[in-house]
Structure 1
Amino acid sequence: MTDMITAAEPRTASRTDAPTVSAFEFWPGWIFYTPIVLYWIILGLRYRDFSLPTAANPRIETGGLCGESKSSILDMAGDVAREWIAPYAVITTGSDDLPRALDAMKAAGLSFPIVLKPDIGCNGTGVRIMRDAESLRAGLAAFGRGVAVMLQHLIPYGHEVGLFYIRHPDEAQGRITSLTYKEVPCLTGDGHSTVEELLHADSRTRLVPHIYLPRLKDRLHDVLEAGQSLPLVFAGNHCKGSIFHDRAVDITPALVARVNEIMRDIPDFHFGRIDAKARSLATLREGRDFQIIEINGVGSEATHIWDARTTLRTAYATQFMHYRETFRIGAKKRREGWKSSGAMTMLKSWLRQRRLMASYPLND
């Protein structure tokens, strides 16, 4: 793969070599994750603590399994790590939230366009681009009252990546176990077909039209000019329609060294995924010119499993390995004196997150 044709570039219907949906990518969650839950239970019995992975990142609520605040993780960054994180601010929706948001943006050095997203959430739910004060007013109003939201710099780089990082407490340096490029699916107009017709003609989108139709409902009958592009999703999540490419071959010593430098500056962080945007793939391999969007804890996945070329066996082997690591790290942190969150706390955090996500607006 070169820097001219990359996984981060919009995918169009004219690209005949583009990947299609994998055999299990859009299975119902309860089917795909049942073996993983069973494996978690087996490990919980072995270690005598079903919530032990939450101790892997003990300073984060539930270790980042669910219900954690995105900003609280970024807030822990020291001076070194902070230089690599996209600037952000947090407010709680309510009365006068627009002027408060504008004040928070000014204090954080933010200017439009920005990304508005819930501080507690997952899978890209509620993530939207705000291009001016009026769109921000409407964006804030779309959330319920009393909801913490993040306002974050819209990183101009075109290559979104997910890097999975693991470091055991007794190790000076960690490792990157997964590097995934996230691709934006994009329709390209021919001057006579409607958006709906283009959607059903594309080799991938026609297989999962329900993923894209809710966001396109106001444009289904539009006719795009020849060559005009229409990105189908902004949030970089596979269940929202983004396309993932396994690029572990691009994990270089320089990139590992840089990620270690950053993550060692976040206290007691040992396991999770870094979502970032890079200026180019070449500079990413050199460990420079990228910005971190967010850092996810033990509830995150190594997203290369959603590459269409990944087999089901490899996907499960990857999941099992990562969750096995969370128990191993949690056990080591327990010996240091840290405690896991407990099963009831995990359940309460999950229920709160689920309740909040049900109230969030549709993502871009």
Structure 2
Amino acid sequence: MLSDLPIASSGTAASPPPHQGMPPLDQEGAPLSFFEFWPMWAFYPPVALYAGWLMLRYRGITLPTVANPSFPGGGFVGESKAEILDLVVRHAPEWVAPFVTVDRPALERDAGAELALSNLTDQALKKLSDAGLALPVVAKPDLGCRGAGVKLIRTEAALSAYLASYPAGARLLLQQFVPFEGEAGVFYCRRPGESKGRLISITLKYFPHVQGDGQRSLRQLILDDPRAGKLPHLYLHRHADRLDSVPAPGESIKLAFAGSHSRGAIFRNGTDLITPAMEARFDAIAQSLPEFYFGRFDIRFENFEDVRNGHSFTMVEANGAGAESTHIWDRKTGLFKAWGDLMKQYKLLFQIGRANKDRGFKPLSLSEFRRWHRREKELTPLYPATD
């Protein structure tokens, strides 16, 4: 039982120590699985082939887009984070980190551009103030996945720089920063007509750190780390301005902020830590959302034991049909196990989509699906660098 295990804690009051409030990070064995960072074209073909068979079996190519009828596109592709979080705020506000949205207009490259950017920054700060929020906040794209464009904004100058580099015509969120090290992805599923849902996956997300020894530079600490040293392309560019500095003995340097595996977070499978109290809490939240059946809640918390008891966590995102059971990126998960778990997830997704279509809900047309998908793909490369 987790209650018999120590919860990681050490460090200073000014900054949460590495993995505070999380179950101890198991670092025995290989730091990475052999397929953990395969390109998408190498990992996903078996899952895509299986999804194609499910399209035939359940008679619908775009059935996932109706898995959650209250989410735009079911939350499968091109969905608005703000629209989904607004839905959660309306029905379960006490569990969501508050946020505001900002629309980034086109700024002409002329003498007035600097003034226009200053005005946009002022407007964003006023929106925050009107909502009772203040810096620091987390900036993130309204459309996007896999941690693209997520950045911790601590100063007005950083906010202005983020807005300046954000694609014109796109919307972004500024969300209250939840200053805890604990983060997890909690995957929920309920079939239409069922009285009770269940949790099918929990991913514990650990943010990588290196510790200074007063001798090695930050660059060398990263390269010498058993895991980070195998993934320097994920970390070195984020710390380019201090790579040659020498951290003091015992100084902890956080290498990544976004809780995304592809952006450098460490994922561990926490599914065996699910408790009845935890499942009941997330079922209550999920059932408070109209016509929500399938997706993942990304949460932050001070102590995971509280989460297991069904309280004291804050939702930073709610993901729909396009969410992934990210526990598969635990480096102890085998390749065939990872494929199998995703196939089980997709089977549930298509079954729910089919049931909802039979209830009269209309999935996106193929042309609508392509348009939504294309918009997301066009924007993603334009987002600011992820922290």
Q: Same fold (TM over 0.5)?
A: yes
Corresponding residue for 1:188? Answer: 211
1:87 and 2:98 aligned: yes
Contact 2:8 2:21 in 1 (8 A): no
Pick the aligned partner of 2:8 from 5, 9, 12: 5
Corresponding residue for 1:147? Answer: 170
Offset, 1:248: 1.3
Corresponding residue for 1:208? Answer: 231
Corresponding residue for 2:110? Answer: none
* Residues 251-262 of structure 1 aligned to structure 2 (within 5 Å): 251-262=274-285
Q: Secondary structure at the match of 2:223?
A: helix
Identity %: 38
1:104 and 2:127 aligned: yes
Offset, 1:266: 1.4
Unaligned runs of 5+ in 2: 10-17, 106-115
* Residues 58-73 of structure 1 aligned to structure 2 (within 5 Å): 58-73=69-84
Offset, 1:343: 2.2
Pick the aligned partner of 1:116 from 115, 126, 139: 139
Corresponding residue for 1:322? Answer: 345
Distance 1:354 1:79, change over 3 A: closer
Pick the aligned partner of 2:303 from 280, 296, 299: 280
1:163 and 2:174 aligned: no
Distance 1:338 1:295, change over 3 A: same
Partner Cα distance (2:234, 2:178) in 1: 25
Offset, 1:74: 1.1
TM-score normalised to structure 2 length: 0.89
Contact 1:21 1:204 in 2 (8 A): yes
Partner Cα distance (1:221, 1:77) in 2: 44
Aligned amino acid, residue 34 of structure 1: P
Corresponding residue for 1:24? Answer: 35
Partner Cα distance (1:52, 1:326) in 2: 8
How many residues are matched? 362
Corresponding residue for 2:13? Answer: none
Residue-by-residue CA offset, 1:144-192 (whole Å, 9 max, x unaligned):
2222010101012321010000011111211100111100111111111
Offset, 1:78: 5.7
Contact 2:20 2:303 in 1 (8 A): no
Aligned amino acid, residue 354 of structure 2: A
Q: Secondary structure at the match of 1:77?
A: helix
Contact 1:3 1:281 in 2 (8 A): no
TM-score normalised to structure 1 length: 0.95
1:34 and 2:45 aligned: yes
1:234 and 2:245 aligned: no
Aligned amino acid, residue 323 of structure 2: S
Q: Secondary structure at the match of 1:292?
A: strand
Residue-by-residue CA offset, 1:84-129 (whole Å, 9 max, x unaligned):
0000111102342212111211222111111011111111111111
Offset, 1:38: 0.7
* Residues 294-309 of structure 1 aligned to structure 2 (within 5 Å): 294-309=317-332
Distance 1:60 1:181, change over 3 A: same
Distance 1:88 1:315, change over 3 A: same
Residue-by-residue CA offset, 1:36-87 (whole Å, 9 max, x unaligned):
1111111111122111111101232221112110010011126551110000
Unaligned runs of 5+ in 1: none
Partner Cα distance (2:138, 2:77) in 1: 22
* Residues 263-274 of structure 1 aligned to structure 2 (within 5 Å): 263-274=286-297
Corresponding residue for 2:354? Answer: 331
Q: Root-mean-square deviation (CA), in Å? A: 1.9
